[in-house]
Structure 1
């Protein structure tokens, strides 16, 4: 039974989902880093919110951890690079609090436009300062989004309901998607020049950190208002303070800050600032939604292999997982076969999917091929870390799909280019379940891979098979299967032989000493 740790305060529904799905769960919020480090090794999954810091040190101690799930969107508290290197899937729940956060952004905009927090405090203090709190209408104003994903799109929809003009800057927003949302896609400088209200809905990355800074404020129209319910660090707080004091910015509504918890901040005390303590996802509905979603996602992964909302590997739905399973075995065998034959640096990997294989979600299959290719050279490589390792090593990886079947209804062909040669290997599934190799280096063959395989390339000369059989007999190697292929009579030939147990190094050296043998290897699968 898989075992999961919930290390942050979370709706009790999460634990209920785990138990109902047959996953053992411990709920231990509030642990210190040392306490978490001491116990994390016993868990297969970790469910967190924002309090737990899954640092590289914690991840290094997580010997059995397979997946980390964030109940929410931001994963600033998880070292994704360290998790990827260790083969740990990192997931978030990007949809569970989308509506709640969008509603909060619109609420903050309204509070800012009508100075509601100040007016409330003044009125409850017994004052009646009606003339002091002059607001602005939203209708007809330009509402500018930086980031138009799930939350940004929901905020755009609500702003349109207020009869606002909505523009958006998002490099990943397609023109078709912008049209569907009724949003005008613009460049960042154009957004700054036109916006009456700017609302941020983008992750905090190296590219977005400080995206609103002194230079950006200089490009904005006078009297602009800024709303940030996304991530602290997107807005340069020192520059914002200067812009407010100069009158450039009429005000800002902030739910997030560069340093949290924000108990002290140079912006606090300014009448033009509306501040809340990171409440974007703080509704009863959102807390239940993200808790249930993270529990379902972790359970699906640990029990079925389904991958949803992962940040460091391709998604695999619960429906796709059983269909992909036999192909995953084939992909791993093809990669491992090519990897074990490779003695020099790898320059490129090309994977071709034909027929039924081309209709599948091939991203996880490509990751597993890379795992097989790299495993003979590196320790602890898996389908999560393999693509990142290939990128780090400047290995060019390409996918090609041929939807029309060729000689086989379904086929995967792997072509590996090294510093010295290009080698290909192809495989198919018999009866939709059983992996078989059908081509090696352009030579047709029909071979099932067992645990111990002998791979021999040789010159096609009379008498060689007899000599090989005699050598195997002398080694007392029991043959399970014996598969042969050749390009043409007298040309290059291949023997792929399954034996019941490992053969000695001396035996392999004796094979290599035969005049007909070009290459001889013992492979394991």
Structure 2
């Protein structure tokens, strides 16, 4: 049996501190309440939601960030709750830290600063000690070196373009690159036909892909063997992309010169030539504002029009909103579902002004704008009719 909900005044619950820039998106007919147990939408950053129970009113969850591991995606999908994330909103922040890390690791900046601090108390001898000791920190320039980028999405494309501007040669690998990204990518970025090609040519490798069964441990003993000796590997995506046992051996042998990771743990902190950063990739005021605003706008648009953009569990679907009564139906991706929905509308002598149907895996989403004026006395019967269709998960009338 599906769930049918009529739109009322909307409550948005926050599970973390959300930037005021984002909350300001919600104005008339919205209430922000961090304690409401049955809101229409939830805004979240890192709060672990896996043990939460969701009320019947909940229609959307927006993560102000890219990763959604803290959200029970499968449960949400089964209930017809749309989960959004904000890809690209923190891209500039991560890009700047990636490029900073390339420069700093190349010039041994972190080790040299730590060594310089040990000179405290040497007084007039500091200048002589600095001149004598600086030779141990001689580095290399990034200009003219080859940067390999795995994943040319929002972050990877920005890194590529700015690395080109800094004089690096850039080679990229992304079999799923979007048309929009390709248009925004510098023509000087070389395309690697295989990931093995990238591994063999790069002096630095930065990875910007999600953690999946296919990418888990993608940096391992076999792939390290393909790389140049002394390669620097930068991981600002997920710690699990790197096999920690294998990279320990690669660091000890010198095959990997430096491992820069935004995901420290007990194992990597014990390794030599690791630069462990305390998950600062998106930790800028601007990034937090951008993510919050993007998340809020996605939720607001969905609640008011049914349009979906940047969902991780349902298909993206947009239909220009003209103010007509809109029927939005989440359902299983099975044959003749659209036919059954349109037949139900026809039985009430309702004409279709416009519609869109999109699918994603086992699930699909259909929006229908109704040409006629839908009177209050028709709505309950129409809702019942749609709800009785087998494999309908959830129905909204906007």
Determine if the TM-score, normalized by the shorter chain, exceeds 0.5: yes
Match of 1:44 among 37, 40, 53: 40
- Is 1:156 aligned to 2:157, yes or no? no
Kept after mapping to 2: 8 A contact 1:229/1:254: yes
* Match 2:190 to one of 184, 188, 205: 184
Decide which of 13, 33, 39 is 1:5's aligned counterpart.
Answer: 13
Which residue of 93, 98, 107 corresponds with 1:114? 107
Specify the alignment match of 1:98 in structure 2: 91
Residue 215 of structure 1: aligned partner: 222
Give the conservation status (yes or no) of the 8 Å contact 1:253–1:273: yes
Contact kept? 2:324, 2:371, Cα under 8 Å: no
User: What is aligned with 1:242?
Assistant: 249
1:385-400 aligned within 5 A? 388-389=361-362
Count residues with an aligned counterpart. Answer: 347
Higher relative contact order (CA 8 A, sep 6+): 2
Q: Is the 8 A contact 1:297 1:308 kept in 2?
A: yes
Matched, 1:147 2:162: no
**CA deviations over 1:379-431 (Å, ceiling 9, x no partner):** xxxxxxxx55469xxxxx9x9xxxxxxxxxxxx9xxxxxxxxxxxxxxx99xx
**1:83 pairs with 61, 67, 76, which one?**
76
Deviation at 1:267, TM superposition (A): 2.2
Of 32, 49, 52 in structure 2, the residue corresponding to residue 54 of structure 1 is 49
Q: Secondary structure at the match of 1:199?
A: strand
Question: Distance between the aligned counterparts of 2:288 and 2:272, measured in 1?
Answer: 31
Let me know the Cα RMSD of the aligned residues: 3.5
**1:415 counterpart residue number:** none
For residues 79-478 of structure 1, the aligned pairs below 5 Å read 79-126=72-119, 128=130, 129-173=133-177, 178=182, 180-182=185-187, 183-186=189-192, 187-257=194-264, 262=265, 265-317=266-318, 320-322=320-322, 334-336=339-341, 362=356, 365-366=357-358, 388-389=361-362, 433-434=371-372
After TM superposition, give the deviation of residue 74 of structure 1 in Å: 1.1
Q: Distance in 2 between matches of 1:223 and 1:101?
A: 24
Kept after mapping to 1: 8 A contact 2:258/2:273: yes
Matched-pair contact (CA < 8 Å) for 2:310–2:316: yes
What do the CA deviations read for 1:49-69 (whole angstroms, capped 9, x no partner)? 12x1222x42x5433211010
Q: Say if 2:19 is the partner of 1:15.
A: no
Equivalent residues of 1:178, 1:185 under 8 A apart: no
TM-score, reference length from structure 1 = 0.59
The 3 A distance-change label for structure 1 pair 333 and 227 is: closer
Q: Which residue of 1 aligns with 2:392?
A: none
Q: Give per-residue Cα distances to partners, 1:30-83, cap 9 Å, x unaligned.
A: xxxxxxxxx64x111111112x1222x42x543321101000111121222221
**After the TM superposition, which residues 28-39 of structure 1 pair with which residues of structure 2 at under 5 Å, given as runs?**
none
**1:317-367 CA-partner distances (Å, limit 9, x unpaired):** 5x72338865869x988424669xxxxxxxxxxxxxxxx96xx7x3xx245
Cα displacement string for residues 116-165 of structure 1 (whole angstroms, at most 9, x for unaligned residues): 11111111221622011021111111100111100000010111111111
* Contact 2:251–2:272 (Cα < 8 Å) also in 1: no
8 Å Cα contact 2:88-2:154 kept in structure 1 = yes
The answer for the alignment partner of 2:124 in structure 1 is none
Report if the CA contact (8 A) 2:317-2:358 is conserved.
no
Structure 2 unaligned blocks of 5 or more: 1-8, 120-128, 330-335, 345-352, 386-398
2:112 counterpart SS class: helix
* Structure 1 ranges of 4+ moved more than 6 A: 449-453
Q: 1:327 to 1:26 in 2, by over 3 A?
A: closer
> CA 1:266–1:332 in structure 2 vs 1: closer, same or farther (change >3 Å)?
closer
* Structure 1 portions without partners, runs of 5+: 29-38, 340-355, 368-386, 392-396, 400-411, 413-427, 436-448, 454-501, 503-525
CA contact (8 A) 1:228 1:255 kept: yes
What is the alpha-carbon distance in structure 2 between the residues aligned to residue 75 and residue 324 of structure 1?
34
CA shift, 1:286, in A, is 0.8
Matches of 2:338 and 2:163, distance apart in 1: 53
| Contact 1:200 1:230 (C-alpha < 8 Å) held by counterparts | yes
Q: Larger radius of gyration, structure 1 or 2?
A: 1
- Measured at CA, do residues 208 and 323 of structure 1 come closer, stay the same or move farther in structure 2, by a change above 3 Å? farther
In 1, Cα distance between equivalents of 2:18 and 2:167: 37
CA apart distance, 1:192: 0.8
